[in-house]
Amino acid sequence: MHLPVLFFMPISDMKPMSLLLLKLLFLGLSFVAGDDHKFSYSGFASTNLTLDGTASVTPNGLLELTNGTTLGQGHAFYPTPLRFHNSSDGTVQSFSFSFVFAIISLYNDLSSNGMTMFIAPSKNFSSAMPVQYLGLLNSQNNGNQTNHIFAVELDTFKNMEFQDINDNHIGIDINGLQSIQSHDAGFYDDKNGTFQGLGLDSQEAMQVWVDYNREKMLINATMAPLGMAKPKTPTLSANYNLSTVLTDVAYIGFTAAMGKINTRHYVLGWSFGMNGPAPAINATMLPKLPPRPHPKERRRLRVLEITLPLATAVLILSVAIIVFLLVRRHLRYAELHDDWEVEFGPHRFSYKDLFRATQGFDDKNLLGAGGFGRVYRGVLPRNKLMVAVKRVSHDSRQGMKEFIAEIVSIGRLQNPNLVQLLGYCRRRGELLLVYEYMPNGSLDKYLYGEVDKSTLTWDQRFRIIRGIASALIYLHEEWEKVVVHRDIKASNVLLDDELNGRLGDFGLARLYDHGVEQETTRVVGTIGYLAPELARTGKATPLTDVFAFGTFILEVTCGQRPIIQGTEDTQVMLVDWVLEHVQQGSLADAIDTRLKGHYNVHEAYLALKLGLLCSHPFASARPSMQQVIQYLDGHIEPPELTAHQSFQALALMQNEGFDSYIMSYPSSTTFATVSSISGGR
């Protein structure tokens, strides 16, 4: 190296070349390609291009400027800068370059956005923008004289802002993307001089030659398909004094940029000549382009590219819908579970099963609506068992444990005259009770002919009375603890397939007792069945059940509702009405006329007597259910109606008792409303 020597030589002694070298050293530039620099690359495998952005050199030597990344841009630079100015007069020297490129898009006739080969003062393109700026410039510096950029663009988009002629053109750009001269991509045929168009995004490799003549200040740009000799007539030429544009020292290279259409811009070969023609690029040595998708495949990919976002949107939407449905399903089938319920596990039904069994609690499965809620017919999905599902709205957790313990434990023992409780389900604000299905519905419909059914015979009626009596004995005395039913009435007596009476709804009223504040005892039950003392004390006892049972007996025997709606707003209590018949000695007239006299007189009179006895206003005068059964079975004779003094009292007390009950009944409560409705039946 003679460099150290240079430093000790007087500057004036240095040759101009050495001086320049020194200048460059001070500038920090390692090397500037000189006046007649030339190169030719067929492939870039062994070259030292400077790359940035999405640019890379593929293993087989292709320069890939864009790799399909949306809005990507890539740059490749010849590693060393070139000196463009003539050292004696400072004008830009003649130069030529040539390159082989290919634009490979997923689509047949669409690609984004184009590429350039440029001469620029620096390798710093960090401010360049993609899409229509081709990775060369940006919206701020486009067209600015201080850019000192010369470029040849191969543009596949028609940008109105740059006054592009079409979407498939070659153009000469000075400092900006608005070409000073542009032309359809293609070439003029050497033989007949006609123009042959070339599709830039035809996926085929093509060659471009650019020549600048210093004297004429003429820029020629020529295109041809790869393999064809350079056509004599350039595709386009422009007169421009590049001395006003290019810096003395400048870099050459390529840019390419993408919009959204998946495109790859490739350079296969490149040659450059300063002050001379660009060396030929040996076409046989060029790297192979990646296998291009078959047109069909491309169409498929294009369809894919268009459908994919759509499919993604659809997928996201369907996932959202599925999540929504799952959440809704979760909410729809949501249940309440408490620790204490574990022991009742076998009696617990899943809400989903009940929902399915009743076809979503469809109105067509509605069996009826009672004081506690609606009752639906259902078929359990697991064992095809017919059930009746009662939905009881209940917000309070208070008393729920005791209630469930009670109904479940009662459900465990089977009494032929109780409607078997199969289980329950708890949800927020509601309790679902699953009973065995009683195909013949409730007794009241038979008694009052709401449905067109043949009236029950006396034998059937008496059997029902006896059945309900034995059910009550079971609840009051035979079960390990005393269970008060609290809502005995004809509509709570259901008939099985053999028309046996079965008592339903046991314990439900109790749930309501538990559910309210302790201070204000609220009466639960149905008007007409409520014992007078119940209105005063609010305390349900087996004897209040007996009272209701008495009314029930009279109902069945007389075929009358507990409160008889007379003409003009007058209401008569069934008990009073029967008592009147007793006093008038016309007991036979009290018996249901629908029986048309076909009844056992002894049994019917017994029933009337028992009904009155059980509905005695004085609790102490009422028999226990055990006694009632004995009367019914004829083991004991009931007291004679006329002779027994208590009936005199009964006659006196009846109205008063009911009136005082009316007075004390908290009519403003919701329950009063509900009870009134069921009492009105």
Ligand X SMILES: *[C@@H]1O[C@H](CO)[C@@H](O)[C@H](O)[C@H]1NC(C)=O
Query: Residue 485 and residue 539: Cα distance in Å, rounded?
Result: 12
Query: Residue 310 and residue 329: Cα distance in Å, rounded?
Result: 27
- The set of residues, in sequence order, having a beta carbon less than 8 Å from that of 90 and lying 6+ positions away, is 243, 248
Q: Does 679 bind ligand ADP (CB under 6 A)?
A: no
Q: Does 545 bind ligand ADP (CB under 6 A)?
A: no
**Exposure string (b/e) for 358-393, b if CB count within 10 Å is 16 or more?**
beebeeebebeebbbbbbbbbbbeeeeeebbbbbbe
Q: Does 676 bind ligand ADP (CB under 6 A)?
A: no
Task: Tokens for 155, please give them.
Answer: 């543009």
The verdict on whether 487 is a catalytic residue reads yes
What is the separation, in whole angstroms, between the first and last Cα of the chain? 122
Q: Does 504 bind ligand ADP (CB under 6 A)?
A: yes
Query: Residue 184 and residue 173: Cα distance in Å, rounded?
Result: 15
Tell me how far CA of residue 231 lies from CA of 100, 185, 228, 281, 294, in angstroms. 15, 13, 8, 15, 30
Q: Residue 159: is it exposed, middle or buried by C-beta count within 10 angstroms (0-12/13-18/19+)?
A: middle
Whether the upstream peptide bond of residue 86 has omega within 30° of 0, thus cis, is no
Q: Does 54 bind ligand X (CB under 6 A)?
A: yes
Considering CB distances under 5 to 8 angstroms, the limit depending on partner class, which of ligand X, ligand ADP, none binds residue 388? ligand ADP
Q: Does 211 bind ligand X (CB under 6 A)?
A: yes
- Range 542-581, binding ligand X (CB under 6 A): none
Task: Tokens for 101, please give them.
Answer: 């490129």
Q: Does 506 bind ligand ADP (CB under 6 A)?
A: no
- Provide the 8-state DSSP code for 562: S
- Binder of ligand ADP out of 234, 370, 411, 532 (CB under 6 A): 370
Considering CB distances under 5 to 8 angstroms, the limit depending on partner class, which of ligand X, ligand ADP, none binds residue 518? none
Would you say 113 and 147 are in contact if contact means Cβ atoms under 8 Å apart? Answer: no
Q: Which of 266, 267, 254, 258 is nearest to 129 (CA)?
A: 258
Considering CB distances under 5 to 8 angstroms, the limit depending on partner class, which of ligand ADP, ligand X, none binds residue 213? ligand X
Query: Residue 137 and residue 171: Cα distance in Å, rounded?
Result: 15
- Binder of ligand ADP out of 96, 255, 417, 678 (CB under 6 A): 678
How open is the CA angle 457-491-571, to the nearest 5 degrees?
95
- The set of residues, in sequence order, having a beta carbon less than 8 Å from that of 610 and lying 6+ positions away, is 550, 553, 623, 628, 631, 632, 638
Q: Does 61 bind ligand ADP (CB under 6 A)?
A: no
Pick 231 or 525: Cβ nearer ligand ADP:
525
Amino acid 681 reads R
Q: Which of 566, 577, 530 is nearest to 549 (CA)?
A: 530
Would you say 73 and 240 are in contact if contact means Cβ atoms under 8 Å apart? Answer: no
Q: Does 215 bind ligand X (CB under 6 A)?
A: no
Print the binding letters for residues 169-208 with ligand ADP: x by CB under 6 A, - otherwise: ----------------------------------------
Considering CB distances under 5 to 8 angstroms, the limit depending on partner class, which of ligand X, ligand ADP, none binds residue 93? ligand X
Q: Does 432 bind ligand ADP (CB under 6 A)?
A: no
- Binder of ligand ADP out of 249, 375, 434, 608 (CB under 6 A): 375
- Range 219-238, binding ligand X (CB under 6 A): 220, 233-234, 237
Q: Does 491 bind ligand ADP (CB under 6 A)?
A: yes
Q: Maximum distance among all alpha carbons in the chain? A: 159
Pick 66 or 526: Cβ nearer ligand X:
66
Amino acid 166 reads N
| Sole window of 123-131, 325-333, 491-499, 591-599 interacting with ligand X (rule: CB under 6 A) | 123-131
Print the binding letters for residues 285-304 with ligand X: x by CB under 6 A, - otherwise: x-------------------
Query: Residue 159 and residue 137: Cα distance in Å, rounded?
Result: 15
- Binder of ligand X out of 2, 15, 191, 602 (CB under 6 A): 191
Tell me how far CA of residue 160 lies from CA of 128, 147, 164, in angstroms. 19, 22, 6
Would you say 223 and 185 are in contact if contact means Cβ atoms under 8 Å apart? Answer: yes
- Binder of ligand ADP out of 201, 505, 513, 592 (CB under 6 A): 505
| Sole window of 111-119, 350-358, 433-441, 549-557 interacting with ligand ADP (rule: CB under 6 A) | 433-441
Residue 390, marked binder: yes
- Give the helix/strand (H/E) hosting 651: helix 645-664
Q: Residue 674: is it exposed, middle or buried by C-beta count within 10 angstroms (0-12/13-18/19+)?
A: middle
- Binder of ligand ADP out of 492, 560, 646, 675 (CB under 6 A): 492
Q: Does 657 bind ligand X (CB under 6 A)?
A: no
| Sole window of 21-29, 81-89, 100-108, 371-379 interacting with ligand X (rule: CB under 6 A) | 81-89
Residue with the closest Cβ to ligand ADP?
A: 370
Considering CB distances under 5 to 8 angstroms, the limit depending on partner class, which of ligand X, ligand ADP, none binds residue 211? ligand X
Shortest distance, CB of residue 567 to ligand ADP, whole angstroms? 27
Shortest distance, CB of residue 86 to ligand X, whole angstroms? 3
CA dihedral for 87, 90, 95, 101, sign (positive or negative): positive
Amino acid 8 reads F
- Which among 487, 496, 513, 545 is annotated as catalytic? 487
Q: Does 431 bind ligand ADP (CB under 6 A)?
A: no
Q: Does 496 bind ligand ADP (CB under 6 A)?
A: no
Q: Kindly list the catalytic residues.
A: 487
Write out the binding residues for ATP. Answer: 390
* Residues found near ligand X in the complex (CB under 6 A): 35, 46, 48, 54, 67-69, 86, 88-89, 91, 93, 124, 126-127, 144, 146, 189, 191-192, 194, 211, 213-214, 218, 220, 233-234, 237, 241, 243-244, 275, 282, 284-285
* Residues found near ligand ADP in the complex (CB under 6 A): 367-372, 375, 388, 390, 419, 435, 437-438, 441-442, 491-492, 494, 504-505, 678
